[in-house]
Amino acid sequence: MTAQGELQLMTRSNAPLRRSRSNRMIAGVIAGFARYVGMDVSLARVLYVLISIFSAAFPGILVYIIMWILVPEEE
């Protein structure tokens, strides 16, 4: 996918939440969420890890697994 195509995906406000196929580390959950909200993928990953580590009330691994199951992969 080209940079222009990714920019169009990021700016579409009605785009459904999908897991990324091309920009994934494990299952593409965070990359898909970052694209959905229009955030930089690297920043989203860092924030997710920091929130998971520093917040005892945020079960990061469990949320990731649930999102992996529930959020469909992009086509």
- What average pLDDT score do residues 60-75 get? 86
* Digit-coded pLDDT (tens) for 16-32: 888 888 887 888 899 89
* Digit-coded pLDDT (tens) for 36-57: 899 999 999 999 988 888 887 6
- Candidates 33, 25, 29, 23; CA nearest to 65 is 29
Q: What is the pLDDT of residue 40?
A: 93
In degrees rounded to 5, what are phi and psi of residue 73? -80, 145
Which range of residues forms the domain containing residue 47? Answer: 3-70
Indicate whether 75 belongs to any domain: no
Indicate whether 14 belongs to any domain: yes
Number of domains in the chain: 1
